Chains A and B, each alone.
Chain A
């Protein structure tokens, strides 16, 4: 790219494509998370969670974390959201979904949330972060692989044990309840 040195750049608000994308994704995330927090229908909340997860994946892409964006889609949209939808379907009938998501203490919760938001935003804007100069943005996948099997090897292995324990624990929680229910039915 060549720079025209003689020309004077006009003083206008130059908005590049990543900026537009950022504001679109931020709007999507915040609108959807407002609906997740305040919708009275739990199905609507679950589908707005889809918007939050995909918007956050887009932000990861903007932050040059391409691997994390893919993992976000795979794990959150493909895993967590499906688990949540399954749990909704298994616990509540679709027909009474309209008033399925009551809230109480909404005013005090909103006050606490607003205070926390103000404090966090004040810190985020006011603190002198040590910003590094933006250099060449490269793919981070080799770095993540090296870190996971190098410096972070022990936490990585502990995490795999934790996932196995979570799997066994979830199965155990469900299985025990079914057994006791069957016993109760047999007695009655």
Chain B
């Protein structure tokens, strides 16, 4: 029996990573923990894109798209942390259940 790594192995890892990121997003009350969950989800999407680029016909587009996702994730992290710090300055806490009000 020969064990060969296929597309499915990578897709299963990415699916589990996505689900753990989703659990993190749904359950965290700390805003930074929430952003970590978003990073997990974006990474699982990238694993999928690159696995498809490697195993399925379609040229290089998957890797270019993953590059775009990485750049978007970096921008999202910078903006997200700025928002977290702004929330911390006005609420003295980053518990996102405090931020249900639009106005202080």
Residues on B with C-beta less than 8 A from A56 are: 43, 46-47
Chain B residues numbered 29-46 whose CB sits less than 8 Å from any CB in chain A: 29-30, 32-33, 35-37, 39-40, 43, 46
Contact B64 A147 (CB under 8 A): yes
Interface pair B67/A46, CB less than 8 Å apart: no
**CA gap between A117 and B94 in the complex, in Å:** 29
Contact B64 A152 (CB under 8 A): yes
Q: Are B29 and A131 within 8 A (Cβ)?
A: no
Interface of B is mostly: helix
- A52 vs B10: C-alpha distance in the bound complex, in angstroms? 14
Enumerate A119-178 residues with CB–CB distance to B below 8 Å: 120-121, 124-125, 129-132, 140, 143-144, 146-148, 152, 155, 159, 162-163, 166-167, 169-171, 173-174, 176-178
Contact B77 A84 (CB under 8 A): yes
A71 to B76, CA, bound (A): 16
* A-B contact number at CB 8 A: 248
Question: In the complex, how many residues of chain A place their beta carbon closer than 8 angstroms to a beta carbon of chain B?
Answer: 91
A19-B5, A166-B78 known; A72+B32 contact, CB < 8 A: no
Bound complex: CA A108 to CA B82 (Å)? 30
CA distance A13 to B97 in the complex (A): 52
Given known contacts A102-B30, A109-B27, A116-B18, is B64 in contact with A170 (CB within 8 Å)?
Answer: no
Please indicate the chain A residues that have their CB under 8 angstroms from the CB of B64 in the complex: 144, 147-148, 152
Q: In angstroms, how far is the closest chain B Cβ from the Cβ of A188?
A: 15
In the bound complex, do residue B1 and residue A177 qualify as a contact, i.e. CB atoms below 8 Å apart?
no
Interface residues on B, range: 35 or more
B73 neighbours in A (Cβ, 8 Å): 75-76, 80
In the complex, are the beta carbons of B47 and A59 less than 8 A apart? yes
Interface pair A68/B63, CB less than 8 Å apart: yes
Is A80 in contact with B60, judged by CB distance below 8 angstroms?
no
A83, B26: Cβ atoms closer than 8 Å = no
Would you call B19 and A116 a contact (CB within 8 A)?
yes
- CB within 8 A of B66: which of A68, A101, A113, A176? A68
Q: Judging by beta carbons under 8 Å apart, are B79 and A11 in contact? A: no
* Across the A-B interface, the 4 shortest Cβ-Cβ residue pairs: A124-B11, A120-B15, A166-B75, A109-B26
Q: Show 23 A/B contacts (Cβ-Cβ < 8 Å), sorted by A.
A: A11-B1, A14-B1, A26-B13, A37-B20, A37-B21, A37-B23, A46-B36, A63-B54, A64-B54, A65-B54, A75-B73, A86-B81, A91-B32, A101-B28, A101-B30, A110-B27, A112-B22, A113-B20, A117-B16, A131-B6, A147-B60, A159-B72, A173-B83
